[in-house]
Amino acid sequence: MRTWSIPILLAISVTFLMMGVLWAVQDPLVLDNKYGKVEFSHAKHEDKACTDCHHTFEGTGDPKPCGECHNAEAEINRKKAFHGTCMGCHKALAKGPRKCRECHQKE
């Protein structure tokens, strides 16, 4: 085997592993709240590392849902976590939804 084949095989394996994680996740993920449901598509964010949002994820198994740690009693509750992470990224990139009704959809 050539010396370059191992890194290429490793990269292909990681790619398929990440695709498997994305396929295993409900897409779009629908979050209900009093301001209107929010749909989040993991597929639209596949260019990001899982740890960009799931900051405690160690790369094996399924990442914990955000609300498991970011609950009502947490210093950074789910609302603060989502708004800080999602809105922070969208504002920094100047793309994607950045206004309330662009995410929160009343039925």
pLDDT of residue 29: 87
Q: Domain-by-domain residue ranges, the chain?
A: 5-105
pLDDT of residue 22: 47
- Domain 5-105's class? alpha beta
Tokens read off for 53: 């949002």
pTM of the model as a whole: 0.65
Q: Which residues of the chain have pLDDT under 70?
A: 1-4, 6-11, 13-25
> How many Cβ atoms sit within 10 Å of the Cβ of residue 22?
14
Instruction: Give the Cα separation of 50 and 46 in Å (integer).
Output: 8
